[in-house]
């Protein structure tokens, strides 16, 4: 704390590597890796800082507590999902198919699947992580989706659609239940799309 | 090993409490509790034996390794699901509704929900537990269901139906996402039943 470099917003003085503009992203990357590999309970701010090559104080400075690091890490993971409202507002026709293909695409991509699995594993086994997921992602995301829908109980409908995709992810990528684990993604889209279409537009049999 | 009591099948001589006809059930009960409370990784045969009030050797005698105890414990948990083929063979009409109501009923009952959550948590975080679930439950159960169905790819259809119910269980009982966590079960059945109906009978829009 005796460095001569100018400090901003009370941040501890660090080397350039520490405080460079990439430090925040490096910490988030490290956090996602740590949560993914160790799970929520065994991940520490100290471990994240070490993996990111920064001082733990910088992690606290940027994000606060471990809970808050987790929140920020998973929020970034769900950034692809920010396209969902645009996907939904693109007209009712084919909405179920677009949504099914988007979700399967995110899960098929190993780069996005790994952090999603980490979040799922953390949230299913740790109530704090579950609360973080609820607070930082589910509420905001589902509300954004719900405002685009013209159905009764739009948030419930969005949750039921999400529940189906989460369940498919668990059986296909975690439990690896056959034939679902090996079937072509387009076959899943073909069967599931009408379900999502009905949930999100109320078209189809009730 | 010096007891004078007659032994069967090489079982170590124990007190009556150990070897009584209830010992096997007590071990399974204890195993389900231990796996539920501690998760798969932290549960040991020794801990199960202690909770059941028997010698660890008796646990090994009845079930073998920890993996095999887990397999037996979860298999019993899914016994209610053995009614599924009967449920399915009761005619196509209303099959989706019967199935949705059955699943929700099993999850709404705290006595069956706790062990199911334990299995889910173990399988999502531990590959051995996932393999056990696949081997001891999913394959047998899904195959029994599939033979009752008159649709193309019956096992895939059964898995997609199961995936939806598992996803609902995660959002409602684990993540406690609102409004799904609080909505009346009949509302869930009403929305989900047509989906299961279509998956299992191919009736409805494709």
Q: Is A157 on the interface with B (CB under 8 A)?
A: yes
d(CA B200, CA B206): 13
Cβ of B165 and A160 within 8 Å?
no
At B43, list the tokens.
């549960």
The matching CATH number, chosen from 3.30.70.20, 3.30.70.260, 3.40.50.150, 1.10.10.60, for B16-65 is 1.10.10.60
Per-residue pLDDT at A110: 83
Where chain B has pLDDT below 50, the residues are 1-8, 10-14, 16, 205-206
Test mutation, A40, A103, A149, A164, chain B, max B CBs within 10 A:
A164
Q: Which of A167, A173, A186 to mutate to test the interface with B (most CBs of B within 10 A)?
A: A167
Cα A192 to Cα B102: distance, rounded to the nearest angstrom = 22
ipTM entry: 0.78
pLDDT score recorded for residue B203: 58
CA distances to A59, A130, B37, B195 from A119, rounded to whole Å, are 20, 9, 21, 27
Contacts of A115 (CB under 8 A, 6+ apart): A32, A35, A36, A73, A74, A77
pLDDT at residue B53, rounded to an integer: 94
- The third-level CATH classification (topology) of the domain covering B78-201 is Tetracycline Repressor; domain 2 (1.10.357)
**CA distances for B159 relative to A136, A147, B134, B141, B182, angstroms:** 30, 31, 12, 10, 26
C-alpha angle B43-B26-B134 in degrees, rounded to nearest 5 = 55
* Boundaries of every domain in chain A: 16-64, 78-201
pLDDT for the residue B18: 56
Report which of B171, B20, B76, B204 is spatially closest to residue A158, judged by C-alpha positions: B171
Domain A16-64 belongs in CATH node 1.10.10.60: yes
User: Six-digit token pair at B117?
Assistant: 């959550």
Give the residue carrying structure tokens 């040991």.
B44
**For A6, which DSSP code?**
-
**pLDDT averages per 10-residue partition of chain A, 206 residues:** 46 53 89 82 92 95 91 78 74 88 89 82 84 79 80 90 93 91 95 93 60
Cβ neighbours of B165 in A, within 8 Å:
167
| Residue A192 near chain B (CB below 8 Å) | yes
Minimum-distance CB partner of A138 among B175, B188, B198: B175
B104 at the A interface (CB within 8 A)? no
């Amino acid at each position: 704390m005796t460095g001569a470099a100018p400090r901003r917003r009370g941040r501890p003085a660090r080397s350039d590597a520490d405080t460079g503009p990439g430090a925040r992203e490096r910490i988030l990357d490290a956090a996602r890796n740590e949560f993914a590999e160790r799970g929520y309970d065994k991940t520490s701010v100290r471990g994240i800082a070490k993996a990111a090559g920064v001082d733990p104080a910088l992690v606290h400075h940027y994000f606060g507590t471990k809970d808050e690091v987790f929140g920020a890490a998973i929020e970034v993971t769900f950034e692809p999902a920010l396209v969902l409202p645009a996907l939904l507002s693109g007209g009712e026709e084919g909405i179920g198919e677009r949504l099914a293909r988007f979700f399967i695409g995110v899960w098929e991509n190993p780069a996005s699947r790994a952090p999603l699995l980490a979040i799922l594993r953390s949230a299913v086994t740790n109530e704090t992580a579950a609360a973080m997921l609820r607070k930082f992602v589910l509420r905001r995301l589902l509300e954004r989706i719900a405002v685009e829908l013209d159905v009764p109980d739009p948030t419930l409908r969005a949750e039921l659609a999400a529940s189906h995709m989460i369940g498919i992810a668990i059986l296909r990528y975690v439990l690896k239940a056959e034939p679902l684990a090996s079937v072509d993604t387009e076959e899943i889209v073909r069967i599931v799309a009408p379900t999502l279409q009905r949930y999100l537009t109320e078209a189809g049999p009730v």
